[in-house]
Amino acid sequence: MIAYSAEAKQLGVGILYNPALPDFLRTHLQAVDYVSVIPDTFWYDQGVGAPDRFREIGGYVEFLDWLAPQVPLVVHGLGMSIGSAELFDLEHLEQLRRWHERYQFRWHSEHLSFARIAAEDGGEHNAGLALPVPYDADVLAMIGERVERVRETIPAPFLLENNVYYAAIPDQEMTEPEFLNRLSGSHGCGLLLDIHNVHTNAINHGFDPHKFVDDLDLASVLEIHIAGGNEIAGVYTDSHAGPCPERVWELLDHVTAKARNLLGITFEFHESYYPLLNDEGIETQLAQARQIWERHHA
């Protein structure tokens, strides 16, 4: 089953929205071909079953309403927690569908991980960070079923992002590329290949990032994320700390040349690093990504 991109349009180079960006976007909108947004940061989620559950944050949504008519938007979700055992939130999915109708997002993506945990009292709590799922057959079946549910609900390509992980889960039934290939091959989701996640995992777990991406079915890669990172307590982390390292650019060039269905390259940084980048720094990162995009996809 390969259904992830037949009708989707190539966009080019985009940026992941964060609260430091409104001024940049008001003055440099021509620097991006699309904007990726995390819908969960535009509302307060008052919890499953709560009346008026998704309370929108007025000031944030006003900016999105300004942005939407001017530039294509795509979704990079945080709240689905598609890897959570015994928890798949249909109210949240319905909220994404409502927002899709409202903003006509070009595609949706989510993280291949879990953060929400079903609690014994019927509620839930949050792990406080995205944690990896085991690459086992039963987990593949669980996530595959959910991917199909998302695709039935939202009429747009749905992508899952390869995870960054620190303590590795041993004795898994599949490698990460095998797991990702089966998800896209059998369940029709695209892959959001986060190159900085690959770079971070390669450093911390000692594998060859080029071999990792070459083991993937790169025809399923519809979006690429690029970012920077830094060391925290002696470990390289995916902190989105400003400009991309050189090895991320090399890997981006390598993958972009082979990912024939690629729709866009998204630069992401954490808002707290805006003073390091400034508008000029953001423009430089976007221009470098555009050079690579145009070399292979113009």
Partner 1 sequence: MSLLTFQRALADFAASPDLCRAAIADPVPVLRSYELSSRERLRLASMVRDRLMATNCVLYRVNRVTPIYVFFPMTCQVLGRELRRELETFWSTHRGTDLQYFPETERFVRFLKQRVRTGELQNEFVEEIVEYEAAAMELRFASSESDSLIREVRFVHDPARLLNLLAESAMLPVDLPRGEYRVIIDARDGEMTVRLASTSLGLEGKTAGPVDRLR
**Within 13 A of 11's CA, how many CA atoms are on the CB side?**
26
Shortest distance, position 23 Cβ to partner 1, whole Å: 12
121 binding partner 1? (CB under 8 A) = no
For partner 1 (CB under 8 A), the number of binding residues is: 38
Q: Are 191 and 220 in contact (CB under 8 A)?
A: yes
Element at 67 (helix H, strand E): helix 58-67
According to the binding rule CB under 8 A, does residue 66 interact with partner 1?
no
Under the binding rule (CB under 8 A), the answer on residue 50 touching partner 1 is: no
Q: With respect to partner 1, which residue has the nearer C-beta, 153 or 237?
A: 237
Sign of CA dihedral 235, 132, 18, 74: positive
The amino acid sitting at 108 is H
Q: Is 86 in the site for partner 1 (CB under 8 A)?
A: yes
CA distances from 196 to 85, 144, 163, 199 (A): 27, 25, 10, 5
Does 129 sit near partner 1 (CB under 8 A)?
A: yes
Binding partner 1 by CB under 8 A: which of 28, 237, 247, 281? 237
Regarding 127 and contact with partner 1 (CB under 8 A), the answer is yes
* 115 contacts partner 1 (rule: CB under 8 A): yes
For strands 12-16 and 54-56, give the pairing: unpaired
Task: Single out the segment in contact with partner 1 by CB under 8 A; choices: 109-117, 178-186, 259-267, 290-298.
Answer: 109-117
Least Å distance between CB 286 and partner 1? 25
SS3 content of the chain, % helix, strand, coil (to 5): 45, 20, 35
In this structure, are residues 264 and 34 in contact, taking their beta carbons and an 8 Å threshold? Answer: yes
> Which residues form the interface with partner 1 (CB under 8 A)?
40, 44-45, 57-62, 84-86, 114-115, 117-118, 125-129, 131, 134, 138-139, 142, 166-171, 204, 232-233, 235, 237, 272
